[in-house]
Amino acid sequence: MHPLVLSQRYVCYMKKKIIIDTDPGQDDAVAIMLALASDELEVVGLTVVAGNVPLDLTCRNARMICDLAGKPETKVYAGAKKPLNGPQVTAEHAHGDSGLDGIDVFDPVTPLQEKDGIDFLIDTIEDHPPNSITLCPLGPLTNVALALTKKPSIKTRITEIVMMGGGYFIQGNVTPSAEFNIFADPEAAEIVFKSGVPITMFPLDVTHKVLANKKRIDCIKAVNNSASIALANMLSFYGRYNSKKYGEDGAPLHDPTVIAWLIAPSLFSGKACNVEIEVNSCLTRGATVVDWWGVTGRKVNATVINEANADGFFRLLCERLPKLS
């Protein structure tokens, strides 16, 4: 067999099948586009959850992102419109009223599938061989928790959950102790972290090391296709809020770190830890209690990422965006 043919077959065989669970969000847009532009990944579908904005808007935004990427064939499914318990929390203060401020809203061509997102998660995991589907939650963990609760047997079939959420030394961005994705549905996060499914967690501590400053946004825009121009405009809007709030040189790209790790794990490093979710305290509800130094003796349940090669991340992103429209 010709070596090139062998190589092509090997790459195809090694593709990671992923489901992205998302609440777009400008940084979600970067994550989704990076995934759709990467041959190492097969995006089996997007499940959408209420989060940065309500569900009707996150569903529209996910479909807009697929259009902008030139991937209208991507399957998009609506999931949970509210958390398991407590009031709904949204983040228009960071993402704008549309959730994707920085670009003009339009009616997307990418259709919303009729099937419920939670049922899609369950059926897809069951229909594939064990350990062949990786879940990539980028927002509140409601959809994933509902799927695990409705069909507990899928726990042993999921390869891993690679998710953005939480914090430990940085702690919170919506309360002094809680990051938005976890705070928006702490009960769901508790179910996921107690599930026994292998978890890789990207907390604020690492995402604030991956900043979209003006120079990096200019490099994205210079790719000069519809996807990159839209991302540059979204990140310019997103960066204004974050720079004012944190005094940092640019916006932290939270969600794309999940996808970048699946493609190029050498860009990141972390540590196996026990992570517990605080659900009861009025002061620290939604906190991720990370036993970084192993002082509790509790069983390890997550790999917590704390370091990133930001320049390498942006090189990867700008290398992949030309593959989109």
Please confirm, yes or no, whether 254 is among the known catalytic residues.
yes
Taking the complete model, does pTM exceed 0.85, yes or no?
A: yes
Q: What was the pLDDT predicted at 1?
A: 38
CA–CA separation, 225 and 212 (whole Å): 18
In this predicted model, what pLDDT tens digit does every residue of 248-264 receive, in sequence order?
Answer: 888 899 999 999 999 99
Domains in the chain (CATH in brackets) are 3-323 (3.90.245.10)
Tokens, residue 81: 């419109």
For residue 325, count other CB atoms closer than 10 A to its CB: 12
The pLDDT value recorded for residue 96 is: 95
pLDDT at 240: 84
Q: Which residues contact 265 (CB under 8 A, 6 or more apart)?
A: none
Of 32, 79, 29, which is closest to residue 59 (Cα–Cα)?
79
Residue carrying structure tokens 């569903």: 59
pLDDT in tens, 43-67: 999 999 999 999 999 999 999 999 9
Q: How far is CA 161 from the centre of its chain?
A: 10
Q: What is the pLDDT of residue 3?
A: 39
Judge residue 272's burial from the number of C-beta atoms within 10 Å of its C-beta, 0-12 exposed, 13-18 middle, 19 or more buried: exposed
Rounded to 5 degrees, what are φ and ψ at 13? -65, -35
Contacts of 141 (CB under 8 A, 6+ apart): 21, 163, 165, 181, 182, 185, 188, 189, 191, 192
pLDDT on residue 245: 78
Give the burial class of 289: count Cβ atoms within 10 A of its Cβ; 0-12 exposed, 13-18 middle, 19 or more buried: middle
Segments of the chain with pLDDT less than 70: 1-13
Region label for 41, one of left (φ > 0), alpha (ψ between -120 and 50) or beta (otherwise): beta
Distance CA 198, CA 301 (A): 7
Q: With contact defined as beta carbons under 8 Å apart, do 148 and 118 qualify? A: no
**Given 3-state DSSP classes, what are the helix, strand and coil percentages for the chain, each rounded to the nearest 5?**
40, 20, 40
From 93, 128, 208, 254, active-site residue: 254
